[in-house]
Amino acid sequence: MEIHNEFLDVNYRYQYYLLELIADNGNYYLTVSKAMKLLGISKFKITQYVEGINADLAIISPDSHLKVNGDGVFESQNINEGIVRKIRLDYLKQSNLFKMLEFSLLHPEKNETADFCEALFIGTTKFYELKKELTAIVEQFNLKFKKNRLVGSEIVIRQFVFEIYYSYFNGIERPFDTVQTIANQVMDRLSTDLDISRLPTTDKKLEIYIKIQYIRMRGKDYLTDHLLTAGFKETQTTLWNAVTAIITTDYRLNMSSEFEIEALLTFLFSEGFVDFEVDWLAGQLQTTVKRLTQRFIEQVNVVLAADVGQTKQFSVALQRLAQDLNQIHTKQLTFYTEPTTFIDENQLNYFAESNPLFHIIIQQVMDKNKHKLEWRKQASIYYDYMFACIEDIPLEILKDRVRVCVDFSQGKLYNQYMQKMVNYFNNLNIEVQSTIQDNTDLYLSDFYSGDLTCKQLIWKNPPTVFNWQQFGDVIVSIKKEKL
């Protein structure tokens, strides 16, 4: 599920939940009874929500449809994740709770109750109901809604707002359209002056950050903490001058703030838009980032060094890993936002089984964390660490590498084909062999050999889906034995 669904009206929220289940399970795999159990709702509500969903699909995606067949199983037509996200955004835009939040962001000067009632076309009683709901939501993030404005740490406010807009609007529509021209100018300047690569996902993330920064500054809500060293602007003039021009010229707010310049630069660093050095970070931030990175590198050495040895390849890998960890930790400490997707327990288990040594390192590092993190944040950090390890540490140097000899009797071309198919499992750290060797872990063939001491997996030709699932399970089992 996506985050910040609390902004959806209750019926729309459950219609979205049901749509998400449909998109995840596909046809003939989700029953009404299972949906009732997962969502904690009655069969009557399911029927009601299906009707509501179809009415919305008729407008947003006329080719899409949902029904329950005679066996009580959901059948869908053209309902995928893209359609679900469009529906979810439509539900958000109909939410008075969201309209209240957006009005307070865009019109900080209009903070009287009458201003909100007029803008949202609601009465005073409804206004106070919504205000109570919004207050309860923002308090979960250590914020308050006082005098009809968000109050609290400015960086937390911006993270909170960013998460909502990035989660809902992400690539479907452009939020804050009244400041689109300014955002376009800034994006073009960054692309030209700093040679930032333009991709749809990174574009949307940067665009939303810029819009929120501009809107908050326009409302005179500024950041007040240094993120970069005092000497950064003298030593990195190209970076500093490019972002200064944005704040002073493109924003056209008749003010400049070093705090805001540093915040935008640090966002570019932590998101990987621009290469950076950890020594550019301000004192305490730099110290903390280095400490977290060093702690992780030490754990890598504890788990891997004895088997890998202090080779040049390993040393270079640790240098690359340290650079990526500095970026990860900078993001955690400056502008961490909740991931909008990719948080699933089954996915976590997959990475743990596929990369057990990296999993051990990450778990030991995270277990030493004195502050217990909320599960979604733990999972997000886990993924960041896992992808950094996979990217930077060569799999062939790990002791859990599984060597598979592929030897089928169908002939040379078929055997080469099967070797190629097995190589598709390379993410499991497999080395394909064409002959039996002393270090062979698994013999994969259509004939059993009584002379071999390694494990054997015997298949019919061609292998079935079950055979491939069995292969994956055997690989994971061998990897565990090597630890």
Q: What Cα–Cα distance (Å) separates residue 198 from each residue in 187, 204, 270, 271? A: 9, 10, 16, 13
pLDDT at 362 over 90: yes
pLDDT of residue 8: 95
pLDDT in tens, 162-205: 999 999 998 899 999 999 999 999 999 998 899 888 788 888 99
Who contacts 38 (Cβ-Cβ below 8 Å, separation ≥6)? Answer: 21
Least confident of 180-184, 265-269, 425-429: 425-429
pLDDT at 308 over 90: no
pLDDT in tens, 89-141: 999 999 999 999 999 999 999 989 999 999 999 999 999 999 999 999 999 99
Neighbours of 283 (CB within 10 A): 10
Least confident of 33-37, 173-177, 225-229, 256-260: 256-260
Neighbours of 234 (CB within 10 A): 9
106 burial via Cβ count (<10 Å: 0-12, 13-18, 19+): middle
pLDDT at 68 over 80: yes
Q: Cα(76)–Cα(48) distance, rounded to whole angstroms?
A: 16
Nearest 5°: phi and psi at 144? -130, 160
Q: Which CATH architecture has domain 5-93?
A: Orthogonal Bundle (1.10)
pLDDT at 377 over 90: no
Place of tokens 């327990």: 345
Kindly list the domain boundaries of the chain, sorted by start residue.
5-93, 153-275, 283-396, 402-482
pLDDT of residue 367: 84
**Dihedral over Cα of 185, 186, 188, 193: its sign:** positive
Percent of the chain exceeding pLDDT 90 equals 66
Q: Cα(185)–Cα(193) distance, rounded to whole angstroms?
A: 12
Predicted confidence band at 341 (pLDDT cuts at 50, 70, 90)? low
pLDDT at 1 over 60: no
Q: Cα(171)–Cα(167) distance, rounded to whole angstroms?
A: 10
Least confident of 297-301, 345-349, 461-465: 345-349
Secondary structure element (H or E) that encloses residue 97, with its range? helix 96-106
pLDDT of residue 311: 83
Q: Which residue has the higher pLDDT, 203 or 326?
A: 326
Q: Cα(337)–Cα(212) distance, rounded to whole angstroms?
A: 14
The model's pTM is: 0.86
Report helix, strand or coil for 433.
strand
pLDDT of residue 373: 63
Q: Which residue has the higher pLDDT, 415 or 343?
A: 415
Q: Cα(92)–Cα(87) distance, rounded to whole angstroms?
A: 9
pLDDT of residue 351: 84
In this structure, which topology does domain 402-482 adopt according to CATH? Rossmann fold (3.40.50)
DSSP 8-state assignment for residue 250: I
218 burial via Cβ count (<10 Å: 0-12, 13-18, 19+): middle
pLDDT at 446 over 60: yes
Who contacts 154 (Cβ-Cβ below 8 Å, separation ≥6)? Answer: 216, 221, 222, 223, 224
pLDDT at 339 over 80: no
Predicted confidence band at 34 (pLDDT cuts at 50, 70, 90)? very high
Q: Which residue has the higher pLDDT, 170 or 239?
A: 239
Using alpha carbons, select from 221, 247, 202, 8 the residue that is nearest to residue 108. 221
Exposure string of 179-196, with b = 16+ CB inside 10 Å and e = fewer, is beebbebbbebbeeeeeb
pLDDT of residue 297: 95
pLDDT of residue 378: 82
Percent of the chain exceeding pLDDT 70 equals 96
pLDDT at 409 over 90: no
pLDDT at 39 over 80: yes
**Mean pLDDT across the chain:** 90
The DSSP secondary structure of 212-237, one letter per residue, reads: HHHHHHHTT-------B-TTHHHH-H
Contact between residue 56 and residue 90 where contact means Cβ atoms under 8 Å apart: yes
Average pLDDT on 41-69 reads 95
The DSSP secondary structure of 50-86, one letter per residue, reads: HHHHHHHHHHH-TT-EEEE-TTSBEEEES--HHHHHH
pLDDT of residue 307: 74
The angle formed by the CA atoms of residues 111, 117 and 119, to the nearest 5 degrees, is: 80
Q: Cα(102)–Cα(93) distance, rounded to whole angstroms?
A: 10
pLDDT at 340 over 80: no
Q: Cα(122)–Cα(142) distance, rounded to whole angstroms?
A: 28
Q: Cα(261)–Cα(97) distance, rounded to whole angstroms?
A: 32
Give the β-pairing of 430-433 and 442-445.
unpaired
Q: Which residue has the higher pLDDT, 368 or 78?
A: 78
Domains 5-93 and 402-482 share a fold: no
